[in-house]
Structure 1
Amino acid sequence: MTVSTEHDRTLATPMWPEPAPLPTPLRPDRLRRAKKAYTTRSVAARLDASPDGYTLVDGPDVVPAPGDVVLARVEELGKHTRLESPTGRRQALFVGDEILVAYGHRYAPDQFEALVPGDLRPAHLVAAGGIAARATEKHHDIDEPTVIRPLGLLADARGVVTMRRHAGRTLLPDPAGPPFRPAGPTIIGVVGTSMNSGKSTTVASIIHGLSRSGLRVTAGKVTGTGAGGDPNGFTDAGAAAVLDFTDFGFPTTFRLEHGQVRGILLSLVAQLADPGTDVIVLEIADGLYQDETARLLADPLFTDVVDHVIFAADGAAGAAGGVALLRDRGVPVAAVSGVVTSAPLAVREARSVLDVPVIDTFAFADPDVATAVL
């Protein structure tokens, strides 16, 4: 006799939960072959030392979180055809490659807005530094994102492998009282109108000029998307030490709690203010209206920590508006630089409405120009 379960939910649905899927063991040679990303460099270093004992956690109930490390397969090449290695080398990608990247949200007006999805279904490689997410918005002038298929979250005996757990540096807690402020180094902050307004180039030029003057300079990136290009560029410019938010276990800073962004700022300053450092140069990513940047610049902590601000603008109107906005927030601007200085007419316009110096980005590489802002 057949028992129908169509109307009997006690028979149709088990009274106990389905067992969780068992983690899939990962062969050491498979892990070695996977292309590792800049964001996963601290994990990659451990894998190079010992690739044994790792598994993949997969299944419909697995929900990734920012900073979780995932093994994924490249399904379709799009905007990103290369993956930055742990050292920053741009590795060519091919369909079928297995890559080790980190989940993270991304905010990039010139490329994508992307969010960490709630499942392990196909996603996108949304940054060359190694960020997995699902793109929700795209700039009209760029290609579709590269499609990846997550094969599972990397796990060890302690559970899912995360950037925070394997971070090379410890994040300071958000202080309830006055912030830590080293007595020695002068701290310069570089902010800008938007993505690609010339912030990183300005930082590198300032570092180079100050280093040529005989000062010991260190540098850091407070916010942004994990990538090796800027830190390597700062090192090439002469910085004695360089850190960014990924060193503290964050793949990106988009959608971070404000207390964590404050913690990154303070942690960078504490770590970079080693004995003998004369100047710390810090870059704050994106533009003045980006959420995390806007909150940080409006926080009294920023002006408590940062001595001088250089504003990188992409045009004369942006320069004038940005300086006014920063002053409204109590942030004094020492000079304007960035993309605007590529055009002599734009420089003339900016100088006609500003009462702060407008300095060519590459002029900061001159020791006399760089030291004049201290």
Structure 2
Amino acid sequence: MSISPSLDTDDLDAREVTDGRYTRVQIGAERAVKVRAAYTTRFVATEFTKRPEDFHMLAGSEVHPEAGDVVIARVTELGKHTRLESPTSRRQLLFVGQEIMVAYGNRYAPDQFLAHVPDSLEPCHLVAGGGLAGYVIETHASIGAATAIEPIGLLATREGVVNLRDFSPLQVGSPSLAAVAALGSRRPPVIAVLGTSMNSGKSTTLACLVNGLSNAGLTVAAGKATGTGAGNDPNLFIDAGAFPVCDFTDFGYPTTFKLAYEEVRNLLAAMIDEQAAFGADVVVIEIADGLYQGETSRLLRDPLFATYVDTVVFAAQDALGARAGLDLLHDAAVPVAAVSGLLTASPLAAAEASAWIDVPVIVTYDLCRPEVAAALIPVRAALL
């Protein structure tokens, strides 16, 4: 937990205390109950709801937020995101003037925003409905401006500024008891789902694959290792039949964009280790965005990826993307079991792809068939 600046007072019951550089504002139970928490902050929100008196806000010119820091902010103008995903994934309608609990983070979304964590508590934006605060640098031409928010203060306790990692149930570098107990055990086969870009059908492909493997009588663990925090995909994996399910927010990361690369690779390894520790027959992991995205591109060529991932199912938007993606994956010596995704919604596009690539093209929803899904399990680790 990061340490908040010390104030020259022990009066924790004061409504507001200022030492010239920092302002500590007590929240109070009446105000706390009105704060709308976001999905990314769900583990923090649980404790905040139980004991709001243990928390305060830290503001002032010397406050410099970092990725993962939790902030209470006021909605000042509605834009792209008119709803905030709650800790239980309910879409809460936003109103101007409401106070929300979100986490600072960088966002990489080619079809929405490029955003970074600002250096101060300056006005910024809600850059993801899952609860991400950042300052927008670039916007896709097809969408409107981001919802504007005014940070009031970083959430803090006596120990310091609250970062999501302080309350996350899983920790990179500190495996759970189950993962420790499983050390040295044979890891189940791991299938990664990658794609050409955002909205290429990765999550739907993974869900259908999970469903097919589950229909084949296998226990399937699923996770999402990179991306921007939201509950849609983990809930989709649960609905498809996966257990356990986790994503990077369970490790305390609101987003993985701009994380130090060592953290990204360690996160991938930790996630697979945690998912494998519960006795799953197969682990399926989604890697967000496209093959050209920085962290994804590096992961593909990292020996750790080859150590942990047995094969890939590749989701593409069109035939050309399928061919180009396979060329990149083959160049990185990544084995590919099949191509699926958005292109398979079009029989013509699927036929085009089949004529130019050397792996099966499988209609996304055909992955729900047990014999189709089970056939994708790597032969050297086959279970059936």
Instruction: Report 1:248-287 matches (<5 A).
Output: 248-287=251-290
1:48: Cα distance to partner?
A: 2.2
Matches of 2:188 and 2:99, distance apart in 1? 44
> For each residue in 1:204-240, what CA deviation from the matched residue of structure 2 results, as whole angstroms up to 9, or x when unmatched?
0001111111100010000000000000110011011
Is 1:30 aligned to residue 19 of structure 2?
no
Answer whether contact 1:222 1:268 (CA < 8 A) is retained. Answer: yes
Instruction: Report 1:200-239 matches (<5 A).
Output: 200-239=203-242
CA distance change for structure 1 residues 167 and 173 in 2, over 3 Å: closer, same or farther? closer
1:181: Cα distance to partner?
A: 7.7
Answer whether contact 1:32 1:47 (CA < 8 A) is retained. Answer: no
Secondary structure at 1:272 match in 2: helix
Instruction: Report 1:220-369 matches (<5 A).
Output: 220-369=223-372
Is 1:99 aligned to residue 106 of structure 2?
no
Instruction: Report 1:50-69 matches (<5 A).
Output: 50-69=51-70
TM-score by length of 1: 0.92
1:30: Cα distance to partner?
A: 1.2
Secondary structure at 1:40 match in 2: helix
Answer whether contact 1:182 1:270 (CA < 8 A) is retained. Answer: no
Answer whether contact 1:189 1:309 (CA < 8 A) is retained. Answer: yes
Secondary structure at 1:252 match in 2: coil
Matches of 1:218 and 1:29, distance apart in 2? 41
1:276: Cα distance to partner?
A: 2.7
Is 1:84 aligned to residue 85 of structure 2?
yes
**Counterpart in the other structure of 1:111:** 112
For structure 2, the 5+ residue unaligned runs are 1-18, 176-182, 378-384
Is 1:370 aligned to residue 379 of structure 2?
no
The letter of the residue matching 1:345 is: L
Secondary structure at 1:190 match in 2: strand
Matches of 1:181 and 1:24, distance apart in 2? 49
CA distance change for structure 1 residues 369 and 181 in 2, over 3 Å: closer, same or farther? farther
The letter of the residue matching 1:29 is: E
Is 1:20 aligned to residue 21 of structure 2?
yes
> For each residue in 1:132-181, what CA deviation from the matched residue of structure 2 results, as whole angstroms up to 9, or x when unmatched?
0000000100111000000000111101111011111111279xxxxx78
For structure 1, the 5+ residue unaligned runs are 1-17, 175-179
The letter of the residue matching 2:160 is: G
After TM superposition, the structure 1 stretch with the greater mean CA deviation from structure 2, 273-282 or 143-152, is: 273-282
**Counterpart in the other structure of 1:14:** none
Instruction: Report 1:37-186 matches (<5 A).
Output: 37-172=38-173, 183-186=186-189
Secondary structure at 1:362 match in 2: helix
Matches of 1:373 and 1:181, distance apart in 2? 25
Answer whether contact 2:225 2:286 (CA < 8 A) is retained. Answer: yes
Secondary structure at 2:284 match in 1: strand
Q: CA RMSD in A?
A: 1.4
The letter of the residue matching 1:329 is: A
Matches of 2:78 and 2:46, distance apart in 1? 27
Matches of 1:348 and 1:58, distance apart in 2? 58
Percent of aligned positions that are identical: 54
Answer whether contact 1:184 1:278 (CA < 8 A) is retained. Answer: no
Secondary structure at 1:284 match in 2: strand
Secondary structure at 1:143 match in 2: coil
1:22: Cα distance to partner?
A: 3.4
The letter of the residue matching 2:352 is: E
Matches of 1:78 and 1:19, distance apart in 2? 34
Report how many residues are paired.
352
Matches of 1:337 and 1:22, distance apart in 2? 53
Secondary structure at 2:165 match in 1: coil
The letter of the residue matching 1:262 is: R
**Counterpart in the other structure of 2:9:** none
- The runs of at least 4 consecutive aligned structure 1 residues that moved more than 3 Å come to none
The letter of the residue matching 2:224 is: K
> For each residue in 1:239-285, what CA deviation from the matched residue of structure 2 results, as whole angstroms up to 9, or x when unmatched?
11111111111110001111101111111111111343101100000
Matches of 2:164 and 2:228, distance apart in 1? 14
Secondary structure at 2:190 match in 1: strand
The letter of the residue matching 2:192 is: G
Matches of 1:290 and 1:173, distance apart in 2? 28
Matches of 2:85 and 2:68, distance apart in 1? 17
Matches of 1:244 and 1:303, distance apart in 2? 20
Secondary structure at 1:236 match in 2: helix
Answer whether contact 2:22 2:61 (CA < 8 A) is retained. Answer: no
Secondary structure at 1:20 match in 2: coil
When Rg is computed on C-alpha atoms for both structures, the one with the higher figure is 1
> For each residue in 1:312-341, what CA deviation from the matched residue of structure 2 results, as whole angstroms up to 9, or x when unmatched?
001000000100100101101110000110
The letter of the residue matching 2:323 is: A
**Counterpart in the other structure of 1:9:** none
Answer whether contact 1:38 1:130 (CA < 8 A) is retained. Answer: yes
> For each residue in 1:287-314, what CA deviation from the matched residue of structure 2 results, as whole angstroms up to 9, or x when unmatched?
0000011111111111110111000001
